[in-house]
Amino acid sequence: MPARGGTFPGLMFPSVRLSLLDRSRTRVGEPDAVALRHTVDRAVFAEELGYHRFWVAEHHAVPGIASGSPPVLVAAVAGRTERIRVGSGGVMLPNHQPLVVAEQFAMLDALYPGRIDLGVGRSLGFTPPVRDALRRAADPDTFVDDLEELRAYLNGTAAVTARPKLDRPVPVFVLATGRGLAVAGDAGLPVVVGGPVLDGPEIGDALADYRARATAAGSTPYVVVSRDVLIAESVAAARELALPEAWALAAARTTGQFPALEPVDVDRPLSPRQRTVVEDAVGRTVHGDPSTVADELHDLFARTGADELLASTSTFDMAALRASDTHLATLFRS
């Protein structure tokens, strides 16, 4: 068994922590509730494997994702686990009052001391009707001010005191692409970086700027890179595991609906546009046999100097996903 707290003996990546993000992806033929139970079960297994964190996400009214309330799901995960850190990747701050978010996560930390993380992002609803339902359609971007207000509640420096009052603030992470890196740096907060920005030629300069800003703010910079990672016995098998998520993304780009995951069908008919989206999505996934994935991760860590990998992985086959999580943990223990 791995050591407590996600520290692995004989690390292939000695300075990088390993964590998981689970988005509670729904699957064709199953009710949404099953996806939530899968998330909790996966967290229990991740703790057994020695992962450092297990985070859940916030998506509203998306057919393919069952998780709309990170605090509730964090509580369910923390209640079934004992050591692994549990948090949000993330709470979308524009959708909530900062005081309410502070109260929710202060309560979680009071119930599960020292294990709760609060990752916050600035994304709005997936579609205009969802943004209307969230009352966010015409609102200005107040993320920086909301983040400052949230931290004041958590630090006990605001005009009102968030309850329960804690002895120390819940750790806050900023989910960032582009200019969000500067926001995280100026706030002196850890940053989570994912998506196409990781592949861009500017990522080195952007992270250097973040680290300089965080240092100037009196904090130690901390970079978490978020990447889809799928490992199987062969590159071809791992590619098949990446297809269900890629198909869902292609459907979202062409129909506006992000669907539930479906079984692999390598002969699935796709339009030229859909095929382009699928190939791009698969190409952005770190996938392959353990050796191939190790090489890609070495390159990723060399380019970013990351302190932590947050593997945000999903596929239709739950047994294959469990095997992939095991392969990844074993890779970090090799």
pLDDT at position 85: 98
- Residue 8's pLDDT band (boundaries 50, 70, 90)? very low
Range of the domain at 69: 4-235+287-333
- Cα 165 to Cα 288: distance, rounded to the nearest angstrom: 47
Tokens of 258: 């992000």
- Cα 289 to Cα 134: distance, rounded to the nearest angstrom: 42
Residue 73 lies in a domain: yes
Q: pLDDT per residue over 281-306, tens digit each? A: 999 999 999 999 999 999 999 999 99
Cα torsion angle, 188, 189, 192, 196, sign = negative
Cα torsion angle, 130, 133, 137, 143, sign = negative
Residue 272 lies in a domain: no
Determine which helix (DSSP H) or strand (DSSP E) holds 117, and give its type and residue range.
Answer: strand 116-121
- Cα 230 to Cα 297: distance, rounded to the nearest angstrom: 12
Residue 307, Cβ density class (10 Å: 0-12 exposed, 13-18 middle, ≥19 buried): middle
Average pLDDT, the chain: 91
Residue 86 lies in a domain: yes
- Tell me if 172 sits within 8 A of 150, measured CB to CB: yes
Overall pTM surpassing 0.85 (yes/no): yes
Cα torsion angle, 310, 176, 127, 278, sign = negative
- Residue 167's pLDDT band (boundaries 50, 70, 90)? confident
Decide if pLDDT at 6 tops 70.
no
For 19, other C-beta atoms within 10 Å of its C-beta total 24
pLDDT at position 241: 96
Residue 74 lies in a domain: yes
Residue 269 lies in a domain: no
For 254, other C-beta atoms within 10 Å of its C-beta total 13
Residue 221 lies in a domain: yes
* Arithmetic mean of pLDDT, 4-20: 65
pLDDT at position 134: 76
Residue 243 lies in a domain: no
* Arithmetic mean of pLDDT, 139-147: 86
pLDDT at position 105: 98
Domain count, the chain: 1
* Arithmetic mean of pLDDT, 47-52: 97
Q: pLDDT per residue over 245-292, tens digit each? A: 999 999 888 887 889 999 988 777 888 998 999 999 999 999 999 999
- Tell me if 213 sits within 8 A of 185, measured CB to CB: yes
For residue 64, give the CATH number of its domain. Answer: 3.20.20.30
Residue 258 lies in a domain: no
